[in-house]
Amino acid sequence: MCSGFEMVHNAMRRPKQNNGNLSALILIVLIIGQITVKDTHGLLLFPASTSLQVTSSISIPLDLPTRTKVFMDMGFQMNYNLPNLLSSFYNSTIWADELSRRSKRQLNSQMDSALHPSDITAGELYVGLEHMLENYGYHRSCLLRSVCELSLHPFAEDHIYGLVTQVITFLLTPSQHEGFGVGEQLYRDIYERAEQIGFLGGDCQSAYPSCEMDIVNLVTRIVR
């Protein structure tokens, strides 16, 4: 049996042993942390025009009175520009002089005008849609008429296929996006003109007589 003196002596020794183990653990953590920081040094910045791309898709079955199953597939792509300059991590100071503000605007303009190699402009998208319509037997002006008809009769905000109609509205409303390239001003004027005709209550069929099919009306029947 241990005496009272031995019990007190052992109780006084235990904290010293724990402190030693804790000190050793802290030392090991610090050494590992220094090694980790040393190995990852220089990975904070990325090469210019580097972006993180997240791609997803949704497949929606359409309720049609036929035995054939028809699905509407939509792909979504999100791009995030990764930092390539230290200035990306700092907010501009409110007391910056005119020269620094001018250089910052030039830098932002250069970054905004730089497209990812896989990106396409709105003009290229519309050209592709026009070719697709022609492959299905429609006149290419049907895309312009669709822009006009959608501006004349927009989808309801509480539509049951809200996500689908929002994507269609975004694609066929040139005034909602700034996706046209520098050399596509004429193309932009043509499509914004089609949107304006519908917005002002014009006759879309008379404006584009070569298109005999109201595609927006057809889509409305499918997703109603």
201: left (phi over 0), alpha (psi -120 to 50) or beta: left
What is the spatial distance between Cα 35 and Cα 59, in angstroms, rounded to a whole number?
47
Each residue's pLDDT tens digit, 129-168: 898 888 888 899 999 999 999 999 888 776 666 677 788 8
pLDDT of residue 193: 93
> String of b and e for 157-191 (b: at least 16 CB within 10 Å)?
eebebeebbeebeebbbbeeeebbeeebeebbebb
Measure Cα distances from 110 to 103, 181, 185, 205 in Å.
Answer: 11, 14, 20, 42
pLDDT number for residue 169: 86
Better-scored residue on pLDDT, 22 or 219: 219
Distance CA 58, CA 75 (A): 6
Encoded tokens for 32: 């590992």
Max mean pLDDT range (20-29, 69-78, 110-119, 196-205): 196-205
Percent of the chain with pLDDT over 90: 17
Mean pLDDT on 65-69: 67
Give backbone dihedrals phi and psi of 16, rounded to 5 degrees, phi first: -65, -40
The token pair that represents 204 in the structure block: 């879309």
- The confidence band for 196, taking pLDDT boundaries of 50, 70 and 90, is very high
Q: What is the mean pLDDT of the chain?
A: 72
Output the pLDDT for position 160. Answer: 60
**Residue 222: both structure tokens together:** 């499918």
State residue 214's pLDDT score.
Answer: 87
Q: Residue 129 burial (CB < 10 Å; 0-12/13-18/19+)?
A: middle
- What digits encode the pLDDT tens for the residues 74-127? 777 888 888 877 776 665 444 444 445 444 455 445 444 555 555 778 888 898
Question: 186 pLDDT exceeds 80?
Answer: yes
Per-residue pLDDT band for 57 (boundaries 50, 70, 90) equals: confident
pLDDT tens for each residue of 163-173: 777 888 888 88
Cα–Cα distance list, 17 to 3, 6, 10, 13, 28 (Å) = 21, 17, 11, 7, 17
* Rounded mean pLDDT, 2-22: 49
CA count, 13 A, side-chain hemisphere, 11: 7
